[in-house]
């Protein structure tokens, strides 16, 4: 499989990778006898990801306080960041998804891509152990960790953006839900952010709060409100 070359990891058990690449919509739509999809691997991968990033931050920044380490980790281990990693390897292309999910843009949706990226981490951990998963994770995120170090906005983008914008303007900052998709237990919200009527960004999340933070993060990164 091409994906194995892209991620520079060869699986010993291909069924683990296949499970990581199977979205629940594929199983539901095709009514297969198997109920295997990537949500359990996503759960495992999330835990491994948190450990690897936490240990890296702890080791590389010995003078950093607990609070700053927590904020830095939150800025790295978040949906937009993981979705960007998934896009770098074109992960959406390899996902087995239901036709309805594909038609709704599932292959490009941040929530789907970030979950699939965590599932791949879980699959590598099961197949090759901690060190293999660690190499994979840090090949994507070590640069991001160093880039975000010292940036105070990473944990609460909305507050930082508001502080920066209101230094020069009292125009209203508005977050508006423009799209709501998916079943009740798996909704995805898309929020559009404007300031004084000017478009600043758009973000997705599993709830409105997550989507608003993602939109604010986009605005900060695009406009360089880094102070």
The pair of structure tokens assigned to 64 is 């950093």
From the candidates 46, 79, 110, 115, which is the catalytic residue?
46
Outline where the chain has alpha helix (H). 2-7, 14-20, 24-30, 39-60, 66-76, 79-88, 99-103, 110-128, 130-148, 157-165, 208-223
CB 62 within 8 A of CB 75: no
Question: Does 59 qualify as catalytic in the annotation?
Answer: no
Q: Which of 19, 42, 79, 118 is catalytic?
A: 118
From its phi and psi, is residue 112 left (phi > 0), alpha (psi between -120 and 50) or beta? alpha
Q: Is 46 a catalytic residue?
A: yes
- The DSSP call for residue 34 is -
Q: Which residues are catalytic?
A: 46, 118
């Amino acid at each position: 499989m091409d994906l194995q070359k892209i991620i520079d990891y060869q699986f010993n058990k291909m069924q683990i990778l296949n499970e990581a690449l199977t979205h629940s919509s594929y199983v539901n739509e095709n009514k297969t006898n198997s109920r295997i999809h990537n949500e359990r691997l996503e759960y495992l991968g999330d835990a491994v990801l948190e450990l690897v990033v936490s240990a890296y931050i702890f080791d590389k920044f010995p003078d950093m306080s607990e609070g700053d380490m927590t904020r830095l980790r939150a800025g790295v281990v978040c949906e937009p960041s993981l979705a960007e990693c998934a896009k770098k390897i074109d992960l959406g292309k390899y996902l087995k998804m239901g036709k309805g999910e594909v038609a709704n843009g599932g292959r490009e949706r941040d929530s789907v891509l970030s979950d699939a990226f965590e599932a791949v981490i879980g699959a590598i951990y099961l197949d090759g152990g901690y060190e293999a998963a660690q190499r994979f994770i840090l090949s994507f995120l070590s640069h991001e960790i160093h880039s975000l170090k010292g940036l105070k906005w990473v944990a609460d983008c909305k507050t930082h953006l508001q502080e920066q914008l209101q230094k020069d303007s009292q125009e209203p900052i508005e977050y508006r839900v423009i799209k709501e998709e998916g079943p009740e237990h798996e909704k995805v919200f898309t929020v559009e952010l404007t300031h004084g009527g000017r478009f600043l960004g758009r973000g997705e999340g599993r709830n409105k709060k997550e989507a608003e933070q993602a939109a604010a993060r986009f605005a900060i990164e695009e406009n360089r409100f880094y102070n």
